[in-house]
Amino acid sequence: MVDVHDSIASFRSALDDERRRGRTVGFVPTMGYLHDGHASLMSAAAAENDVAVASIFVNPLQFAANEDLSTYPRDLDRDLAICADRGVSHVLNPTVEEMYPGGPVLTTVTVDRITRNFEGASRPEHFAGVATVVTKLFSIVGPGRAYFGEKDFQQLAVVTRLASDLSIPVQVVGCPIVREADGLAMSSRNVYLDEAQRAAAPVLHEALRAAATAATSGAPATDVRQVMIDRVDSEALAELDYAEVVDATTLEPVDDLGPGQRLLIAAHFGRTRLLDNLAVPVRAVDSSADRS
């Protein structure tokens, strides 16, 4: 059974009670309309902690004026059923007024440098909204672990740096991407795709896999980037936003393949923007070292 809290005070009190009993807390923040990717985070939180908890809150600070806040998909009953199935004990489901009671938010949190490119360039207001709500949620939940999917890789990097820089007593745990059978990364926004766009969308994962193969074969970083670009450009329904090879911690583009790197990609399919990523294979790093 899931205890649903619509107030911050009630949710915080419940988790404080759990910790007083000596229980560890694993937290999964979400914006709802849950899919198997979210469910996998909840399963990880339940497996690695005594108590798994979650939040369901569509954060208006993450949306620009021309984005899909009003049409963002919602299905609370289904979400709560998924939470219960995956072992979540407590869910915070606040209103916007509960989260931001003073009206317009005057205090925001900004993580510099790693937010400048990619999602930050395409959605300038997005990461300040993410960092602000995550800081607030971490403050509400208290010490424990927090679980984020690797699908939003830049977000994961931002939250990890945020917790470290501000000495927040939360261990940020990144979890593997969950995919559909055809390779498309699961996302709440996949529901916006029409039939033709849905058939085209796996091109992102195909581009990443082709780039990883090129990297393993010894291609330089510039060629690996081009493989992704060419593959997405071959799909008429996809409009590429970016394709890059970056350092996984700083998110700076790299000139040479090395350890700890990530392939990032994003594209529009009609009005729907999707993103994906993949680790640069270790074999590619090893082969690069062999040539030097």
By annotation, the residues acting in catalysis are 38
- The residues, ordered by sequence, that sit 6+ positions from 122 with a Cβ below 8 Å of its Cβ are 241, 242, 266, 273
3-class SS letters over 105-134: CCCCCCCCCCCCCCHHHHCCCHHHHHHHHH
Burial 125-138 (b: 16+ CB within 10 A, else e): ebbbbbbbbbbbbb
What tokens appear for 6 in the block? 């619509």
Q: Which is nearest to 212 in space by CA: 276, 120, 137, 162? A: 276
Query: Locate tokens 């790093």: which residue?
Result: 285
Cα(97)–Cα(21) distance, integer angstroms: 31
CB 115 within 8 A of CB 155: no
CB 43 within 8 A of CB 71: no
- The residues, ordered by sequence, that sit 6+ positions from 291 with a Cβ below 8 Å of its Cβ are 218
CB 125 within 8 A of CB 40: no
Say whether 57 sits in a helix, a strand or coil. Answer: coil
